[in-house]
């Protein structure tokens, strides 16, 4: 009798154990899609361990949501691999994806597939340091949950879609180190979201920056190493809360004599432009960590005080007739 009970209990226990073990949280559509992605990317080393027998929510580079969304896949992060492939259009078939990351895949080529516009919950798009080409997709503006776009270090070309300004939750837009041309969209003066950082450096952007950008109060703005010209003084303003302004290596041309800089600015790099005038005394009130006004056409006395003498002559080199410390005293 006792033996029988034990056997029964054992049986029950085994049954329980196996059912709980084989309980796959992963949604079968997501598993199928992920396996297609793996195949389309030629079985990259980082995800070679994906085993169809396992719960895909336990796979490397994959994360699933909780029961409220049936444990659908919410994150795919494939980084640091020598995969030779394109972004598989199938990524658009992970309908609950919030984070899509392809990072440091130097042989990831081709265009950003239009299918990603199906990812209506996407919040975070990080496709940096690959060799992607083609345009920044205009259709990204349909992904109303996007908070973070980072497409830096690729070979993207064409102009910046002005419609990106329509994204209501956008906080970070980083498109630096590509081959983007054309001008900065007028619409960037009125982002729907509260954009914290705008990085467009190391491209081939040209023309004047739109006056509307004066409306922006952005924490970090980097337009360095483009071919931008004309007036950029609207980016400054005593009432803004900007911290980081890099306009270096462009062809901006304006007189800085009366440009007031917000007291919050601690990074100010204006080197290699055609700026004229003299350094305003107001700039002695700044708390500067980085400062560079070299290679311009500035003239006159460097105001003495504040942080302006904390920087050596290299920050002031190659101007028309700047003088006083840290340069030679004025005649």
Ligand X SMILES: *[C@@H]1O[C@H](CO)[C@@H](O)[C@H](O)[C@H]1NC(C)=O
Contact positions with ligand X (CB under 6 A) in 126-145: 128-129, 131
Residue 198, exposed/middle/buried by CB under 10 A (0-12, 13-18, 19+)? Answer: buried
Query: Terminus-to-terminus CA distance in the chain, angstroms?
Result: 112
Task: Provide the minimum distance between the beta carbon of 42 and ligand X in the complex, in angstroms, as a whole number.
Answer: 11
CB 45 → ligand X: shortest distance, Å? 10
Residue 179 is a binding residue for ligand X (CB under 6 A): no
* Binder among 193, 294, 302, 319 for ligand X (CB under 6 A): 294
Q: What are the angstrom distances between the C-alpha of 13 and each of 10, 17, 18, 55, 130? A: 5, 6, 9, 22, 50
DSSP state of 111: P
Stretch that binds ligand X, among 46-54, 64-72, 179-187, 210-218 (CB under 6 A): 64-72
Total binding residues toward ligand X, as defined by CB under 6 A = 29
Under rule CB under 6 A, residue 124 binds ligand X = no
Encoded tokens for 98: 């919030």
Report DSSP letters for 229-248, one per residue: EE--GGG--TT----EEE--
Full strand arrangement of the beta sheet holding 297-301: 276-277, 297-301, 321-323
Asked if residue 324 lies in contact with residue 302, where contact means CB atoms within 8 angstroms, the answer is yes
Please tell me whether residue 309 binds ligand X under the rule CB under 6 A.
no
**Options 6, 7, 49, 66; binder of ligand X; rule CB under 6 A:** 66
d(CA 228, CA 253): 9
Q: What is the dihedral of CA 122, 127, 133, 136, to 10 degrees?
A: 40
Among 150, 224, 226, 243, interactor with ligand X by CB under 6 A? 150
Question: Applying CB under 6 A, which of residues 227, 305, 314, 325 lies at the interface with ligand X?
Answer: 314
Q: Which stretch binds ligand X (CB under 6 A): 9-17, 60-68, 232-240, 323-331?
A: 60-68
Residues in contact with ligand X by the rule CB under 6 A? 65-66, 68, 82, 84, 106-107, 128-129, 131, 150, 152-153, 172, 174, 197, 199, 255, 257-258, 271, 276-277, 292, 294-295, 311, 314-315
């Amino acid at each position: 009798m006792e033996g029988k009970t034990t056997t029964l209990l054992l049986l029950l226990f085994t049954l329980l154990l196996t059912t709980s073990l084989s309980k796959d949280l992963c949604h079968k559509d997501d598993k199928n899609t992920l396996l297609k992605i793996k195949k389309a990317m030629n079985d990259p080393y980082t995800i070679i361990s994906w085993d169809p027998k396992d719960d895909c929510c336990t796979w490397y580079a994959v994360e699933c949501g909780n029961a409220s969304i049936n444990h659908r896949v919410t994150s795919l992060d494939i980084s640091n691999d020598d995969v030779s492939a394109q972004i598989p259009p199938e990524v658009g078939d992970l309908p609950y994806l919030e984070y899509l990351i392809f990072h440091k895949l130097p042989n990831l080529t081709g265009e950003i597939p239009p299918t990603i516009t199906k990812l209506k919950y996407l919040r975070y798009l990080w496709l940096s340091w690959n060799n992607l080409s083609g345009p920044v997709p205009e259709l990204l503006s349909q992904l109303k949950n996007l908070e973070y776009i980072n497409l830096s270090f690729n070979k993207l070309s064409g102009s910046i879609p002005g419609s990106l300004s329509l994204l209501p939750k956008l906080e970070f837009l980083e498109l630096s180190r590509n081959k983007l041309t054309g001008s900065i969209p007028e619409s960037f003066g009125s982002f729907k979201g509260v954009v914290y950082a705008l990085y467009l450096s190391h491209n081939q952007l040209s023309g004047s920056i739109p006056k509307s950008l004066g409306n922006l109060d952005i924490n970090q703005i980097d337009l360095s190493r483009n071919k931008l010209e004309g007036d950029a003084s609207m980016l400054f303003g005593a009432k803004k809360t900007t911290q980081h302004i890099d306009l270096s290596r462009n062809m901006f041309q304006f007189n800085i004599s009366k440009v007031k800089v917000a007291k919050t600015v601690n990074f100010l790099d204006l080197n290699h432009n055609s700026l004229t005038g003299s350094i305003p005394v107001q700039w002695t009130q700044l708390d500067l960590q980085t400062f560079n006004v070299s290679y311009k056409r500035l003239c006159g006395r460097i105001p003495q005080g504040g942080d302006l003498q904390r920087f050596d002559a290299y920050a002031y080199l190659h101007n028309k007739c700047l003088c006083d410390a840290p340069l030679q005293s004025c005649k």
